[in-house]
Chains A and B, each alone.
Chain A
Amino acid sequence: MGVPMADLPTVTGERPGRLSRLLRPLAFMSLPTAVLVLLFLAPMGILVYFSFQFGDLTGSTGFTLTNFTDILSDPLYREIALTTFQIATIAMIAQLIVGIPLAYVLAYKAGRFELPLLLALVLADELNPMVRIYAWRMLLGREGLINEALMSIGLIDVPIDALLFNKFSVIVVLSTSYLTYTVIPIYASMKAVDAGLFEAARDMGAGWFTTFRRVLLPLIAPGIFIALLLVYVPLFTDFAAPTLVGGTTGYMLGNVVSDLVLENGNLNAGAAMSFLMLLAAGLFSLVAYQLSRIKQGAK
């Protein structure tokens, strides 16, 4: 049975014209773009706008750089920035020291426990941050579990105060808060590395450290850089942990922003500080991304 001639033009007529073929993807993208602009870029724009202003939206005083010069010339802020950098870096290194062996066990040694362990790692991250931080306070505090335990076995007579409300406790809480995001990308990159390579290295006389440094580490470098990208920036800007366990010595840049805005009501200074942190984070991400690409290119 033949196709009626009249049907043919409609079939060809449905083929989209050149213009509509170009427009169609744009139409698909318009909604997400609108959402992104509205919810993400607009507040960001307002933040940047405020950082170059005095006063709020109603009482604008025009363009100024004072917000930035005030921050950059204040030695106190410089000191806090240094503390923040120190805490974030130590917490990152601590996570790598724990995270890489953990990822190794997950990827190569866990066997049938691989999936349950992975699940446990993800669930650990699902814990509400407030609950986690308060749990750490109960562990590290004057009457916390650690002090109680040490006193009951007679190792110490008076509780150690150095465990809580300082840099140390901030580092401990931050390290444990982001461990999941450190381990998962490293674990994923290890899954792509054939464990037979370790045997080959051993066969040629390499010890475990040489095998790690010369075989495993270069191959999982992309995973490590992704972990840095995912974790280091949030570490740098965190303010919940320093607020709750930081005391006076564990005060970080995130606290500065929240105090400037919430305590002092100085929206402009807070915006300027946020903008500077955004720049630093952007710069860091760019470097980490480039490094991960260089390593991947070498494959």
Chain B
Amino acid sequence: MITLSNLTKTFGDSTAVNAIDLEIANGEFFSMLGPSGCGKTTTLRMIAGFEEPTSGRIELAGEDVTWTSPKKRNVNMVFQNYALFPHMTVRENVEFGLKIKKLEKARATERIERMITAVRLEGFESRHPAQLSGGQQQRVALARALVNEPAALLLDEPLGALDLKLRKEMQLELKSIQQQTGTTFVYVTHDQEEALTMSDRVAVMNGGNVEQVDDPRSLYEKPRSEFVADFIGTSNLLKVEVETWDGDIARAGLGDGLRITCRESGDRASAKTITVRPEKINVHAGPVDPGQGSLVRGRIIENVYLGSMTQLIVELSTGERLIVHELNDDSGGPSEAGTEVYLSWATDHSFVIEGAAKAPDQQAALPAGAESL
């Protein structure tokens, strides 16, 4: 188990990692996801021992390793550019760590062969890295790290240099190797799809802070902050004033007898924004009874055909715009631009989250368009 407590790293005036706390369980596929400069790589490098924290603590299997040299830590790293030794063969690369640990020859050979088989590199043992494709080099890097049987494998954007198709294949392969070996994987990426596909849990990071730690489904379905809602997938953000609380359900009016109800998610006091995913919204020609859910009115201003679905942009009477995804299965409502429509969604599909009025640097980190849509 890896425990980070109050971990902080500053470079000069700027804070790369801001007092984060994380617990990573044994055998877990844990991802740190965020835009560049969010502190995810710095955190990983602190776990590996390549960066010294400014303050805070790192524990590995209950042992404080905050100031332990990287060569003494029972973790191994897969580097972004693989950092394979160009003058060594595949086998010599994989062998490197075991030679240093002076592992008994027979056991070393057995482990190396098992590892080379696991990453499907049989027959390539005597090749040099320059004679391998990107995907093969990636697998050598994996084998070289995993052969040491580390308590955790740290991966720093390991698929970043591969093309899309290969990346998808390697995602599945990484996941299966992780399940085979049962090793804890700590995976750093800026690609949300990659994180959601492979991880048991994901920590979404932004500006040196951990915004939310959750399983992929909860991250998507129940984002706790505007940043998470926007960074993971497409999300509609609406500013509202909560009128009443009914248990953990917030009610807000939009005038015209229309209403919004949604679940609490995060800090109630600063709740100023609600989120709802585009595919959770239903479109109706006339007013309907939304049951316990929300109902709003608007006008379709744009209609984009996307094959399996149609994307509508609906402007509400407040001037705010919602993105709506409708499946093209003939069951949907009106979709012509200019049509007045009613939109409904269930209470469970929308959450009140903290408003946008947070630290200014965090505002700047939001992707363009996050405000208007």
Contact = CB atoms under 8 A, between A and B. Distances in A.
Contact of B101 (A194, A205, A207, A215): A205
B87 A203 contact: no
Contact of A204 (B50, B86, B87, B144): B144
Interface residues of A, number: 19
Interface stretch (B74-82, B218-226, B231-239, B322-330): B74-82
Contact of B87 (A199, A200, A206, A218): A218
A215 B144 contact: no
B79 A207 contact: no
A127 B297 CA distance: 85
A203 B128 contact: no
B100 interface: yes
B71 A207 contact: yes
B81 A196 contact: yes
Contacts of B130: 299
A210 interface: yes
Contacts of B100: 204-206, 210
A215 B79 contact: no
Task: Summarize A's interface: helix, strand, loop or mixed.
Answer: helix
B83 interface: yes
Contacts of A200: 77, 79, 83-85
Contacts of B50: 199, 202-203
B138 interface: no
Contacts of A204: 71, 76, 96-97, 100, 144-145, 148
Contacts of A151: none
Nearest to A298: B87
Interface in B122-149: 128, 130, 144-145, 148
Interface residues of B, number: 24
Given A204-B148, A205-B71, A207-B71, A199 B83 contact: yes
B70 interface: yes
A196 B83 contact: yes
B96 A219 contact: no
Contacts of A210: 100
Interface in A199-249: 199-207, 210, 214-215, 218-219
Contacts of A215: 85
B71 A202 contact: yes
B245 to A, nearest CB: 51
B312 interface: no
Contacts of A206: 71, 96, 100
A197 interface: yes
A295 to B, nearest CB: 8
A157 B45 CA distance: 56
Given A219-B87, A299-B86, A201 B96 contact: yes
Contact of A197 (B72, B85, B148): B85
Given A196-B79, A196-B81, A299-B130, A203 B70 contact: yes
Interface string A144-173: 000000000000000000000000000000
Contacts of A299: 86-87, 128, 130
B156 to A, nearest CB: 10
A202 B69 CA distance: 9
B83 A197 contact: yes
A281 to B, nearest CB: 29
Interface of B: 48, 50, 69-72, 76-77, 79, 81, 83-87, 96-97, 100-101, 128, 130, 144-145, 148
Given A206-B100, A219-B86, 17 more contacts: A194-B83, A196-B81, A197-B85, A199-B70, A199-B83, A200-B79, A200-B85, A203-B76, A204-B97, A204-B100, A204-B144, A204-B148, A205-B101, A205-B148, A214-B96, A299-B86, A299-B130
The 7 closest A-B pairs by CB, nearest first: A204-B97, A200-B83, A196-B83, A205-B100, A205-B71, A218-B87, A203-B77
